[in-house]
């Protein structure tokens, strides 16, 4: 899933894989207007994405995957091909590979009831204090992000002793369930209000959603505690150089 900011660059890079025996699909997520924090009106003057309007738009978080995936037509295409689950992960997580043990658990559940949504979590360290965590409320698993936590409880949320796991954003999701919930308009995700300041100094509001927050909308959801090796985010050039260097070794799980 690309945003309007990354789509063209991604297509250029993917051209060199045209002769590979792997089909790579892309689709775009939505484009939402930023809101002026003072007037609560859209910053955009019109629907164009050029000139002064460039900063007026934003991609509304990875929670948009459900609607955008459905609207792209790829969901129906994959279901028509007999596919049952998608594995979703952050593009910068080099540890996010298809784990056949988890897939086998999905296809052959011990209790005979298939999970519609599986979230991989891993043990929290002091470097992960901002990561979302799983809670159980009214019989459903729920994802709690730090942006949703009142300031008075942020330190408590960051505690590695009270909240011992965090969401890796490696997710296994039933395609049929996504289709059902999307057509029923039943995917419920909390809105995250994200305050930003544009280059010109204008204070704006972005309304975003997180993909994992939909866990409560699916039936028989599950959290699986996985090894740390499945969470290896590379966000900076120095991160990448470290992983590529002779100083780094990745243990086989």
- Give me the residue spans of the domains in the chain: 6-231
Contact status, residue 65 vs residue 189, Cβ threshold 8 Å: no
List Cβ neighbours of 223 (8 Å cut-off, separation of 6 or more): 118, 119, 120, 121, 134, 141, 165
C-alpha closest to that of 102 among 90, 79, 91, 86:
86
Catalytic residue among 83, 162, 164, 235: 235
| pLDDT of 37 | 95
| pLDDT of 117 | 97
**Is 45 considered catalytic here?**
no
Instruction: Quote the tokens at residue 190.
Output: 């909390």
Phi, psi at 177, each rounded to 5°: -70, -40
Fold observed for domain 6-231: Spore Coat Polysaccharide Biosynthesis Protein SpsA; Chain A (3.90.550)
| pLDDT of 180 | 98
| pLDDT of 71 | 97
| pLDDT of 101 | 95
- The SS3 call for residue 212 is helix
What is the rounded distance in angstroms from the CA atom of residue 210 to the CA atom of residue 60? Answer: 9
Query: Digits of tens for pLDDT over the chain (253 positions)?
Result: 999 889 999 999 999 998 998 899 999 999 999 999 999 999 988 888 776 778 899 999 999 999 999 999 999 999 999 999 999 999 999 999 999 999 999 999 988 899 999 999 999 988 888 889 998 888 899 998 888 888 899 888 888 888 899 999 999 999 999 999 999 999 999 998 899 999 889 999 999 999 999 999 999 999 999 999 999 999 899 888 988 888 776 655 5
What is the rounded distance in angstroms from the CA atom of residue 65 to the CA atom of residue 74? Answer: 12
């Amino acid at each position: 899933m690309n945003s309007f900011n990354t789509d063209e660059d991604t297509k250029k890079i993917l051209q060199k894989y045209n002769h590979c025996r792997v089909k790579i699909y892309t689709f775009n997520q939505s484009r939402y207007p930023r809101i002026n924090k003072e007037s609560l009106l859209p910053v955009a003057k019109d629907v164009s994405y050029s000139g002064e309007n460039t900063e007026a738009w934003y991609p509304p978080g990875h929670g948009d995957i459900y609607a955008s995936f459905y609207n792209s037509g790829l969901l129906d295409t994959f279901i028509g091909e007999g596919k049952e689950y998608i594995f979703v992960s952050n593009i910068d997580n080099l540890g996010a590979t298809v784990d056949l043990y988890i897939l086998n658990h999905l296809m052959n559940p011990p209790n005979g009831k298939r999970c519609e949504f599986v979230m991989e979590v891993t043990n929290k360290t002091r470097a992960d204090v901002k990561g979302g965590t799983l809670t159980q409320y009214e019989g459903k698993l729920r994802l709690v992000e730090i942006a949703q936590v009142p300031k008075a409880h942020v330190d408590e949320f960051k505690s590695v002793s009270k909240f011992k796991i965090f969401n890796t954003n490696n997710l296994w999701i039933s395609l049929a369930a996504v289709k059902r919930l999307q057509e029923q308009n039943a995917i419920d995700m909390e809105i995250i209000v994200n305050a930003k300041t544009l280059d010109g100094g204008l204070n704006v509001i972005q309304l975003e959603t997180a993909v994992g927050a939909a866990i409560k909308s699916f039936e028989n959801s599950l959290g699986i505690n996985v090894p740390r090796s499945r969470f290896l985010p590379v966000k900076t050039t120095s991160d990448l150089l470290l992983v590529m260097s002779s100083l780094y070794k990745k243990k086989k799980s």
